[in-house]
């Protein structure tokens, strides 16, 4: 039984998933909720955007609040952040003690602090706000599992996307070789990190014979909301999964231009240019009744496209 639990734990720790909590745009509809996603990576949760209802969607998705310590806001339009104060408040009621870090463009403090002052005095944890630059790409968070890099976007207010890159795991030790060569325990870490091994009789075994390679590190880019910016393709080149907003269909590209959004065609062209593994569409305008219109338009240019939908869990 304990082996089974350990196995399940290892599987969970290997996972890199994106949970879609909401993928509508400014006007909520009966089909779609405002923007929010959660990246689940090696047991930790990272939220991107926090539209109204995000905490309820978290519960529906059985995501554990306690594992969420970092929230990344693309910009300070209501459909991307009106769920934040409710989530912060709920954490307070649950007697959370660990810091909650919130990253977002300039204005974050001005928008959030008055709400915290009125509604959240005396909560038993700290809300730490980080205002990030939306002008240039920079690493804003790193731990042993992941790095998060901003991607400058162009919208009606300061806005950026976020690129999640899994940290490359060390290779796996070949237990058979360790046993056969009687390599002592203290040498294991240096072998994992690239060293070879010389036996007592002077025979050298190179690193590559002592390990099997780890899985390739995975990556996910979240780009919403933005006008079409082909120059960003280089920044997210080759990511496994790209979320690119596609608020409008190509037939409404004048609206897209006017409101600093992208069309589905542009999202697909961007995905092709950036040579990504898969493209996920979302941030659908409420004017369309049938999401499949987005899918059809994108697939003509980039076949490996999927549609975001509330409750969807995508393995990166």
Q: Which of 213, 211, 244, 241 is nearest to 227 (CA)?
A: 244
Report if residue 239 touches a second copy, rule: CB under 8 A. no
What residues from 44 to 83 belong to the interface with a second copy (CB under 8 A)?
A: 52-53, 55-56, 59-60, 76-78, 82-83
Of 55 and 262, which CB lies nearer to a second copy in the complex structure?
55
Tokens of 207: 């690193």
Q: Closest distance between a second copy and the C-beta of residue 86, in Å?
A: 4
Task: Kindly list the distances between the CA atom of residue 305 and the CA atoms of 23, 81, 124, 258, 301, in Å, as whole numbers in the listed order.
Answer: 15, 27, 43, 26, 9
CB half-sphere exposure, 232, CA atoms < 13 A: 31
What residues from 115 to 154 belong to the interface with a second copy (CB under 8 A)?
A: 115, 118-119
As a whole number of angstroms, the distance between CA 91 and CA 314 comes to: 26
Task: Tell me which residue has tokens 């204005």.
Answer: 107
Q: Considering only residues 21, 23, 26, 276, which one is a binding residue for a second copy as defined by CB under 8 A? A: 26
As a whole number of angstroms, the distance between CA 242 and CA 18 comes to: 11
The contact pattern for a second copy, residues 84-103, with x = CB under 8 A and - = no contact, is -xx--xx--xx---------
Q: Which stretch binds a second copy (CB under 8 A): 110-118, 130-138, 255-263, 298-306?
A: 110-118
Of 53 and 158, which CB lies nearer to a second copy in the complex structure?
53
- The catalytic residue positions are 79
Q: Which residues contact 49 (CB under 8 A, 6 or more apart)?
A: 35, 36, 37, 72, 73, 74, 80, 81, 224
Report if residue 111 touches a second copy, rule: CB under 8 A. yes
Q: Which residues contact 23 (CB under 8 A, 6 or more apart)?
A: 32, 33, 35, 282, 283, 284, 308, 309, 310
Of 118 and 204, which CB lies nearer to a second copy in the complex structure?
118
Report if residue 256 touches a second copy, rule: CB under 8 A. no
Q: Which of 216, 308, 300 is nearest to 265 (CA)?
A: 300
Helix (H, G, I), strand (E, B), or coil: what is residue 118?
helix
Of 62 and 175, which CB lies nearer to a second copy in the complex structure?
62
The count of chain residues that interact with a second copy, using the rule CB under 8 A, is 31
As a whole number of angstroms, the distance between CA 160 and CA 310 comes to: 22
What are φ and ψ of residue 120, in 5° steps?
A: -125, 30
Q: Considering only residues 12, 13, 27, 214, which one is a binding residue for a second copy as defined by CB under 8 A? A: 27
Report if residue 28 touches a second copy, rule: CB under 8 A. yes
Q: Considering only residues 21, 23, 33, 68, which one is a binding residue for a second copy as defined by CB under 8 A? A: 33
The contact pattern for a second copy, residues 165-204, with x = CB under 8 A and - = no contact, is ----------------------------------------
Q: Closest distance between a second copy and the C-beta of residue 159, in Å?
A: 15
Q: Considering only residues 1, 2, 30, 200, which one is a binding residue for a second copy as defined by CB under 8 A? A: 30
Q: Closest distance between a second copy and the C-beta of residue 140, in Å?
A: 23
Q: Which of 189, 187, 183 is nearest to 171 (CA)?
A: 189
As a whole number of angstroms, the distance between CA 178 and CA 185 comes to: 9
Interface contacts to a second copy, rule CB under 8 A = 26-30, 33-34, 52-53, 55-56, 59-60, 76-78, 82-83, 85-86, 89-90, 93-94, 107, 110-111, 114-115, 118-119
């Amino acid at each position: 039984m304990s082996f089974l639990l350990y196995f399940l734990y290892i599987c969970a720790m290997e996972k890199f998933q994106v949970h879609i909590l909401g993928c509508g745009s400014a006007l909520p509809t009966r089909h779609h909720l405002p923007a929010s996603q959660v990246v689940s990576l090696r047991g930790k949760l990272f939220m991107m955007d926090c539209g109204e209802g995000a905490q309820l969607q978290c519960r529906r998705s059985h995501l554990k609040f306690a594992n969420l310590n970092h929230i990344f806001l693309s910009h300070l339009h209501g459909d991307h952040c009106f769920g934040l104060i409710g989530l912060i408040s709920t954490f307070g009621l649950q007697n959370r003690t660990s810091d909650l870090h919130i990253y977002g463009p300039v204005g974050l403090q001005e928008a959030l602090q008055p709400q915290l002052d009125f509604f959240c005095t005396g909560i038993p944890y700290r809300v730490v706000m980080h205002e990030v630059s939306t002008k240039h790409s920079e690493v804003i968070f790193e731990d042993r599992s992941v790095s998060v890099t901003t991607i400058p976007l162009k919208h009606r207010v300061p806005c950026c996307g976020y690129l999640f890159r899994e940290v490359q795991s060390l290779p796996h030790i070949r237990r058979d070789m360790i046993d056969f060569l009687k390599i002592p325990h203290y040498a294991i870490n240096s072998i994992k990190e690239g060293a070879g091994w010389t036996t007592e009789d002077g025979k050298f075994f190179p690193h590559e014979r002592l390990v099997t390679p780890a899985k390739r590190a995975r990556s996910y880019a979240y780009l919403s909301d933005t006008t079409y910016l082909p120059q960003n393709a280089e920044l997210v080149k080759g990511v496994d999964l790209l979320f690119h907003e596609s608020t409008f269909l190509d037939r409404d590209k004048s609206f897209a231009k006017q409101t600093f959004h992208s069309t589905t065609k542009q999202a697909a062209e961007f995905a092709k240019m950036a040579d990504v593994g898969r493209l996920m569409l979302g941030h659908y305008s409420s004017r369309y009744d049938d999401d499949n219109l987005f899918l059809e338009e994108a697939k003509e240019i980039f076949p490996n496209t999927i549609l975001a939908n509330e409750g969807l869990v995508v393995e990166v």
